[in-house]
Each structure stands twice: as structure tokens, then as C-alpha cells.
Amino acid sequence: MVTGPSRRSLLLALAGAAAVTGFDPATRAWATAAHTDPNFATLPALDGRLLLAPADFGPYEDDFGHIIHRTPAAVLLPGSVEDVANLIRFAGPLGIPVAPRGQGHQTYGQAQANAGVVIDMSTLDSIAVQTSSMAVTAQAGALWHSVLTACVADNLTPPVFPDYIELSVGGTLSVGGIGGATSRFGAQVDTVTALQVVTGAGEIVSCSAIENCDLFEAALAGLGQVGVITSATFALIPAPQMVRQYTLAYPTEPALTADQRKVVEDGRFDWLEGQLSPATPSGWTFALEGAVYYRDGNPPVDSTVLAGLDYAGTATTADFTYVDFVNQLAAGVAFLESTGEWYDPHPWLNLFLPDAEVDAYMQTTLASLSATDIGASGVVLLYPVPSRLLTRPLLRTPDSTLVFLFALLRTASPDTDALPVPQALARNRTLYDEAVSVGATQYPIGSIPNLTHADWANQYGHELARFTALKRRYDPHFIMTPGQGIFRERGE
Ligand SMILES: Cc1cc2nc3c(=O)[nH]c(=O)nc-3n(C[C@H](O)[C@H](O)[C@H](O)COP(=O)(O)OP(=O)(O)OC[C@H]3O[C@@H](n4cnc5c(N)ncnc54)[C@H](O)[C@@H]3O)c2cc1C
């Protein structure tokens, strides 16, 4: 049943021929105000709600980047997986774009749908832990925080979390899902054993490595191109009780990466990242962040953990419960929410760099970056991931046995001297081009303007032909997730 606006107002809202309203730089296509008359009388009754009032669209025409804004024609709050399927079956033949949205934490309009329908997945958020098989099945709209809470109640945990756990299961599985435990367990997509997907043809399909494997592989890190992930099943591990985190300072970037290579190889840390901070307008500080899980009363021996590492000064240690460790960003986020900086524009750049090039690229890049470029609350991450742990074909990383995630998490606060958004975007584009020229790929969660077909062809390499074929097969009307801007035209 459609609740809220009447079917008549819904018809009025969506009826009418397509009218060009402007050029959309992110999708590189002409934006239109509406598509052909959808004759909504044919949309089956819904278990959830369809929002049609523009006053309700605010969050759906925006995201964490606050850079791209596109107005949908409607927003679906699904009450069931069937609602998702019915909406897509309705939209496909009419060519109405459809974008699933988790928490809208991408930064460049990737979960938006101009004149289309945004599906707010947050209403599908059930979680079922199967203790006997050490697995959890979570609906795509569930937050990682909720998954953590449900699993640790049974002393279990997913092996990998992103640094920020208020992201949705479907959102991070659509991009990959990287965190400090990726150095040991791969990305979140590598821990998934089964999915339920509503394809772009509106079919509800179960898939795994042995059942409908091509859909499984196209949905994981598939940027929402073949359909909507509606639920995922993950392998769990026993939840650690306590965590000791070590922060080690390094004088230079090569000194940091040298020790990161050492520790990722010998596996002394259960969790490994690295952070760079602009200490002065021209200088940087470099920190290795490693963590060891332990049981209460039996902490790791620091001298053993730190043996052979070439850091400067004294190691800083901090002990957390496992839950507090996984959620340690919460305090910083609460602070940024209180100052308002959390709501400033975020023109982020996220790249995977090949090991052989990381030091040269970073030294050139850091020489051109200052505190102003990052913004007062911005962060720069640099940490290694062994490629052998990254098994999903669409999570594209450089051809190198070790790759480094470089995350330039800028905040462009309009009321400070931070780099304004247009300049930050232009810098992102230049840094992306320079990185690609040395074999990098992008981790596609950020804000890189003017991506062309050649850029995507470079990103996907030999996988592009298969990805395109699967797109045609599972999204025959090319309606799914246009904000990613990968498949510009139908049949491309
Ligand atoms: C503060 C912060 C910290 C972050 N830290 C990390 C980190 O440590 N590691 C990391 O890997 N990433 C991190 N990210 C990036 C994050 O993983 C991505 O932005 C992710 O897409 C956000 O999830 P979301 O639920 O907001 O997804 P959304 O932004 O809503 O969606 C992301 C994309 O996936 C599509 N999508 C959403 N749900 C589905 C679905 N169910 N099925 C198919 N497609 C779907 C959307 O259309 C969109 O294209 C961080 C982001 C922020 C803002």
C-alpha cells in the first residue's frame, strides 16, 4: 500500500516528458527534471512508504561531501525486499534511475538519483547471528555499529570494520570496506559468504561463490551497478576482549612505510594503519598505528611487539575494550558535530598506490600539501594491504603484491582559510592523474571530478568487459546507481 501522498499526487509529481535542466558534472550527462509518465497505478502496493514531497527530499539530494546535489522524484522507504523489487520492476521499463542509499556517506553524489528514485535502505536493518555456524546475516540497511553490538553479545565479531561504524552494511559492501584489520583479513567484501540481491531487472536472487557466482562478484564492491544488496552473510571470529593500541612516531614517510612493510609481513599486529599530520605549514608528522588483541589480564609484552622497529622517541600505548576500540572514532565525531565541522564539505581523495611507487609519490604529494589543503579537522591516512587478501574482482587495486591506501580526507570549511571546494576538486583530479600514471587505482568513495570512460577503463582494466556484460545482464535498462558515473550510456 502506498501511504503518505495519494496516488494522484504521486502521478502528478512524476508525470510529464523529460525536460533538460542542466549538465551534471558527476555523471557527465544532461540532467532531466522528469522521465516519461510512469503511470504509477501499475506500481504494486507497497509494505513501506514512497515519499513524494520535495520537503522530505533534503538528505537524499545531499551526502557527506555536500558538493553534488541532485533532486529525486521520489524516495522509497522499503517495508520489505519485495518493495525494492517492485519499485525496480516498475522503474526499469520507464528508464527511471534508481539509487540505493545507505547512510549517504560517499562524498560526490554517488547515492543520488536526479529525477529518479532513491531507496533509503535504512528501513531494512534486521540482524541475525548464527552462533553455531559463526556467521551473521544482516540486512543492507543495518549499521556496522548495530552488527557489532549484536555479534559481541555472543562473543563473536566480524573480522573487519571500517574506522567509522555508523556506515551501512550495503554501503561498505558496495565499495569494499577497508580498515585496520584488512591487513590480516582482507576487505569486508572478502569476508562475505552469501548475498541476497535485487537485480536491476527486479529479481530477488541469492548468490554466493557457488550459487550465481557472477552476480555475487558483480555486487561486492560493484558500486551498486547490478542491483541492490538487500542482505549479506559474513563469517565471524571470536571477539577479542581487549585491545592494546601502539602509536609510533617516524621522522619521514619512507621510515614509516619501511616499518609498515616489516610488520604487515610478520603479522605482529592484528590491526594496522598509519596517519600523517601537517605539523607546521610546511612539515609533516608520521605515525604508525598498530593494535594487538588480548584477553584481560594477559596483555602483550611491549618489548616483544616493538622489537626491531625503527621509530623515534617513545611508543604511546592505550588499552581499550574491543567494542570501544572498534568505535574509537565516536568521540571525535561527537566533537566535530558539536563544532559543526562534521557538516562542512568533504572533497575526499582515496587511492591505492603500488608499493614500489608509494614513497616517491607521497614525498612529491606531501611537498605540495599544507595544513590549509587538509582543513583543520582533516585527516591523512596511509597504510599497507597485502593484495593476496583482496579476492573480489571489482575491488580494484594496483598490480603489486603490497598496496597502500592513501586517504586524503579533506574538510573544506567555508569559514576558515581551508582550500575552497573547487580548488580541492581540481587538486584531487591532478593527484589522481599523477597517481594513475604510476599504476594507482582509486578507492571509489571520494570526489574526483570529470571521470571519463577512459578513467573507468583504466580502473577496471581487464575486468571492464566482464563488468559491462554483467551490467547489461542484471541491469538491462541501465537504471541502477547512476551517481557513480561509470556506464554513461545505455549499452556502453
Ligand atoms: C567518516 C567516514 C569514515 C569512513 N571510513 C571508512 C573506512 O574506514 N573504510 C572504508 O572502507 N570506508 C570508509 N568510509 C567510506 C564509506 O565506506 C563509504 O562512503 C560507504 O559507501 C558509506 O556507506 P554508506 O552506508 O553511507 O553508503 P552510501 O554512501 O549511502 O552508498 C555508497 C554507494 O553504494 C551504493 N549503495 C548503498 N547501499 C547499497 C546497497 N544496499 N546495494 C547496492 N548499492 C548500495 C550507493 O548507491 C552509493 O553508490 C568512511 C566514510 C566516512 C564519511
Q: What is the pLDDT of residues 430-458, one digit of tens each?
A: 999 999 999 999 999 999 999 999 999 99
According to the model, what pLDDT value does residue 375 have? 86
Q: Which of 105, 124, 182 to mutate to test the pocket of ligand 1 (most atoms within 8 A of CB)?
A: 105
Q: 254 C-alpha to center of ligand 1: Å? A: 31
Phi, psi at 386, each rounded to 5° = -75, 130
Per-residue confidence (pLDDT) for residue 56, from 0 to 100: 96
Alpha carbon distance 292, 271 (integer Å): 7
Q: What pLDDT score does 296 carry?
A: 78
Helix axes 421-436, 355-367, angle to 10 degrees: 150
CA of 175 to the centre of ligand 1 (A): 6
Which parts of the chain register pLDDT below 70?
A: 1-41, 280-282, 488-492
Residue 116 is predicted with a pLDDT of 94
Q: Which of 81, 101, 107, 216 to mutate to test the pocket of ligand 1 (most atoms within 8 A of CB)?
A: 101
pTM, two decimal places: 0.92
Which residues line ligand 1 at a C-beta cut-off of 6 Å? 64, 99-106, 110-111, 121, 140, 162-164, 167-168, 170-172, 174-179, 223-224, 228-229, 445, 481, 483-484
Give the residue whose CA is nearest to atom 34 of ligand 1.
171
CA of 263 to the centre of ligand 1 (A): 28
Kindly give, in sequence order, each residue whose CB lies less than 8 Å from that of residue 381, ignoring residues fewer than 6 positions away: 273, 274, 275, 276, 405, 406, 407, 409
C-alpha cell at 438: 604510476
**Which atom of ligand 1 lies at the shortest distance from residue 229's CA?**
42
Cα→Cα distances 236→89, 126, 148, 150, 444, Å: 34, 17, 11, 12, 26
Residue 282's pLDDT is 62
Task: Please report the pLDDT score of residue 7 as a whole number.
Answer: 32
Count the Cβ atoms, other than its own, within 10 Å of residue 284.
20
Q: How far is the CA of 211 from the centre of ligand 1 (A)?
A: 26
> How far does the centroid of ligand 1 lie from the alpha carbon of residue 447, in Å?
13
Q: Which atom of ligand 1 lies closest to the CA of 483?
A: 49
Residue closest by Cα to atom 16 of ligand 1: 172
Res 41: pLDDT: 62
